[in-house]
Each structure stands twice: as structure tokens, then as C-alpha cells.
Structure 1
Amino acid sequence: MHKISEPSILYFGTPVILIGSLNENNTYNLAPISSVFWLGWRCVIGISAESQTTKNIIRNKECVINLPSAAQSENINNLVFTTGRNPVPEGKRKRGYYFEPSKFEKAGLTPVPGDIVSSPMVSECPVQLEAIVSNIHPLAEEDPEMKGRILIIELRIVRIHLEESILMEGDENRVDPDKWRPLIMSFQKFYGFGKEINYSKLSNIPEALYKTADIEKSRKEKTE
């Protein structure tokens, strides 16, 4: 039987991502979030308007979306409560955040320069998506208490780096879901994937039918 409920958060389960961005002084910033989804070669993130990552993305119009596997959960924990903003924004200070200028060292991860963008990739992450900004939208503009606090940022992927160990055998352009084990955030706790639980009829549709013009755009940008 269903019951009427009022959870404080609605994090029913999404992948954790590490956003690599470039600070104003050309140092690297790294931040974990889990408000993200993809359509084709587009990525949409929800992020605090006051974070250093947001400032960097707005200024540079780019970032790298790094997807850790379940094996990197402790690296993510090392970044909890850290921020690249100094002074620390009041909202984050109340939650226990502190300024950390060396995010990669704190996390125990290795930065790698992007091929197309200037933002850093994370060497240890099996998936690295170089991205540029397409659109930025405010969230909850109609609510005086929430207005200006959260932004929705649409990113277009321009280059994808995939660890060979997660690729489909015989096809370098497909990820094998039996090999890829993303780190999942569900109600503030870490989870990983298990084995496939059931056959999905959607898998009858060839992946190529989902291809968009963004792939061709990315090829042109690689040669410019």
C-alpha cells in the first residue's frame, strides 16, 4: 500500500560525476555532483549557482564530466565538504564545507589535460567527457526563496575517452554494460551495479539509431 510521504530529497539513484574545471588562476578544480542526465551527446547538470565549479563553467564555457566507477568511492569521499571558493559561501559553511585549493591531491586522483577543452580529465575515471556549454537556465525562478540558487547547465560533448576495459568486444564505439560499473548515489549513499536483472525490449533498438548531429559537430571541432 502506498503512503503519502514528504522526503526532504528525491535522490532516487543517479551516477556520481566528477566535474573538472579550470580556475581563474589556471589551477584545476574538481567537484562531485549527482544531479545529471544525458540525451544523445548532450549532458544536463543541476548545480549550485555559488560553487566554484559553476563560476568556472560560466567563465570558460567548458568542463570535463568524469564518471568514476564503483572502485573510486573513497576518492569521492575525500572531496566531501571541500570547496574551491574562498571565502566559503555561507550556505556551504553551515554544512561544514571548507576551502581546499588542491582538490586532485585531496582526492588522491590524477589530472590529465583535455584534448579539446582546457579543463582537466581524471586519469582514474573510466569515462571522461570533454564538454562545452550550450545553455544555462535558472531553476525555480518563480520561487523567491530558491531564485538564483541553482542553475541548470546544458553541455554538449565534444570528445569522449573510454577505458578499453569497459568497451564492447569488437566494437570500440560501444560500452559493454556488463563491464561498466558506475558509482551510484541514492539518498546520499553509494551503490554499485549488480548483474543484469532482466532482458529489456529496448535493447532491440540499434544504438546507432540514437545518433545525433552532435557527433558530426564534435568531429569538426577536433580538426579546428
Structure 2
Amino acid sequence: MADSPEQPVPASEPHVVVTPSVLYVGTPAYLVATTNPDGTPNLAPASSYWALGQMLVLGLEAEGQTIANLLDRDELTLGFPSGDLWRAVARLAYVTGRDPVPPAKAARYRHTPDKFAEAGLTPQLSDLVAPPRVLECALQFEARVRRITPGLDRSYAMVEAEVLRVHADPAILKPGTDHIDPTRWDPLVYSFRHFFSRGTELGWLPSSPTAEEDPPIDAG
């Protein structure tokens, strides 16, 4: 006789219903560079991100200079900062390249024309796109927009971009390979408006190209 499925526990145990102000459960923070109409670079922090194959999906504010730039010029770079760069990312949290500052942002944001200088970061020439990379970021993507979809409430947009080239500091690679070694790479993580380093490694999947032994448990 087959085992009967376990019955669900009562809905009220052990959780409570909450209404958090944001839903940033824990995603990598990144810096996205685009080109302004006058040819200067814009740099903005973001954390809504996922990837599949060579495609990225980015969630970006609809009133930011980044979206305005991407609607006219489809090239961008992404720089993934390590944990030690969190202050540079935080310096960009409440500045905007929009001038004048949009009314919805006016209470907290101020305009600055040079976001790289504001963050204390260094622009680095890209190979295939116009926007610069962020020199201090150990992992950098050059990309081109393939589609921009307005969000349901129009306060954000979903940007689908194809990665054209990846740059990595050799220090984060498994020696002799093109594989990012997660034991050498410590990305900055953004969770409920707090910054974290990745933390202690807990395990890995059998498909890992960098692990040197079997997973510590049967991953199925």
C-alpha cells in the first residue's frame, strides 16, 4: 500500500500574515551603466534581476534616467560589486541623473551629473558597447536590450537584455578555466534594504563545474 501524503498543518501555524514595505528577499545588487543624450555615462544601482542562458531580465524604475537612456540607446553594462563595495552602491541610492528631478522623487533624491564620481568608482572602456564598465567590479557584463516591457502599474519596466561579453577578474576564476569559482567570488546581496556579503558556503549541486568533490548530500 502506497504511503498516504502528509496532511497540511493548520494555516495559522506557525506563520503570521505580514505586509512588508518591500519584497527584496535577497538578490545581487548591481550597477547598470547607460549613455546619456549628451554622451556622458549614467550609473545606477539596482537589485531586481534574474538570468537564463545569455538573457537577463532587469526590473528598473520607470522614472529613472536609466530607462530613459535605454529607450533611445539600447546598450548597457552591468557591474556586480563585491561586499566591500557596498558603500559605493549606497552613495547612489538617492541621486538621479534626471534633471529636473521627477516629482515622485523630489522629496528624497537630488540630481548629480557624474554618478561615477558620486560613488567614487572608475569608468572603464567597454569592448562592444558605448557605456563604460565599472573598473572596481570583479564581474562585468556588456549587453544589448532586446525588449522593454512596461510594468502593470507603469512605475517600473522589465528590460530583457542579451549579454554580449563577460569580463571577470582572474582572481574569481577557477584557475585554468572560464568558470566563476563561487568560493572565490563574494557578491554583494541586497535583502530588505540591508546589504550583505554572500556568507558561508553550504553545499552545491552535482552540475557545479568548479566543485572538486561530490555534493555533501544527495541532491537528487
What TM-score, normalized to structure 1? 0.85
Given the alignment of the two structures, is residue 165 of structure 1 paired with residue 178 of structure 2, yes or no? no
- Matched residue of 1:36: which SS? strand
The answer to whether structure 1 residue 55 and structure 2 residue 60 are counterparts is no
For 1:17 and 1:57, locate their aligned partners in 2 and report how far apart those are by CA, in whole Å: 17
Question: CA offset at residue 20 of structure 1?
Answer: 0.7
Q: Aligned to 1:156, which of 162, 187, 202? A: 162
Could you say which residue in structure 2 is the equivalent of 1:204?
Answer: 206
2:53 aligned partner: 40
1:53-132 alignment, distance < 5 Å: 53-94=66-107, 96-132=108-144
**Any idea what the Cα deviations from partners look like across 1:110-155, whole Å, max 9, x if unmatched?**
0012110001100000011000011111111xxxxx2x22110000
Distance 2:62 2:208 in 1: 38
Alpha-carbon distance in structure 1 between the residues aligned to 2:155 and 2:88: 27
Q: TM-score, normalised by structure 2?
A: 0.86
Matches within 5 A, 1:129-148: 129-140=141-152, 146=153, 148=154
Question: In structure 2, do the counterparts of structure 1 residues 170 and 189 end up closer, same or farther at CA, with 3 Å as the change threshold?
Answer: same
Write the letter of the residue equivalent to 2:183. Answer: D
Tell me the SS of whatever aligns to 2:85. Answer: helix
Q: How many residues align?
A: 196
The 1-side partners of 2:208 and 2:48 are apart by: 27
CA distance in 1, matches of 2:124, 2:182: 25
Output the CA distance in 1 between the equivalents of 2:85 and 2:100: 29
**Separation in 2, partners of 1:139, 1:69:** 29
Q: Tell me the residue number matched to 1:7.
A: 20
Per the TM alignment, residue 182 of structure 1 is displaced from its structure 2 partner at its CA by 0.4
**In 1, Cα distance between the equivalents of 2:119 and 2:73?**
23
CA distance in 1, matches of 2:188, 2:29: 6
How many angstroms apart in 2 are the aligned matches of 1:20 and 1:9?
24
Question: CA 1:181/1:87 → structure 2, altered by over 3 Å: closer, same or farther?
Answer: same
What is the letter of the counterpart of residue 123 of structure 2? P
Identity %: 38
| Aligned equivalent of 2:39, options 20, 26, 29 | 26
Amino acid at match of 2:189: I
Measure how far apart 1:206 and its partner are: 5.8
Is contact 1:68-1:126 (8 Å) kept? yes
* Secondary structure of the corresponding residue to residue 168 of structure 1: coil
Note the C-alpha offset of 1:42.
0.9
Q: Following the alignment from structure 1 to structure 2, what is the Cα–Cα distance between the partners of residues 52 and 113? A: 21
Q: Any stretches of 5+ residues in structure 2 without a counterpart?
A: 1-13, 210-220
Question: Structure 2 CA distance, aligned partners of 1:139 and 1:165?
Answer: 38
RMSD over aligned Cα atoms? 1.1
Residue 125 of structure 1 aligns to a residue in which SS? Answer: coil
**Which residue number in structure 2 is paired with residue 194 of structure 1?**
199
The 8 Å contact of residues 111 and 121 in structure 1, kept in 2 or not, is answered as yes
Point out the structure with max Rg over C-alpha.
Answer: 2
How far residue 195 of structure 1 moved from its aligned partner, in angstroms, is: 2.1
Paired with 2:155 and 2:93, the residues of 1 have a C-alpha distance of 20
Deviations 1:25-45 (A, max 9, x none): 001110001011111111111
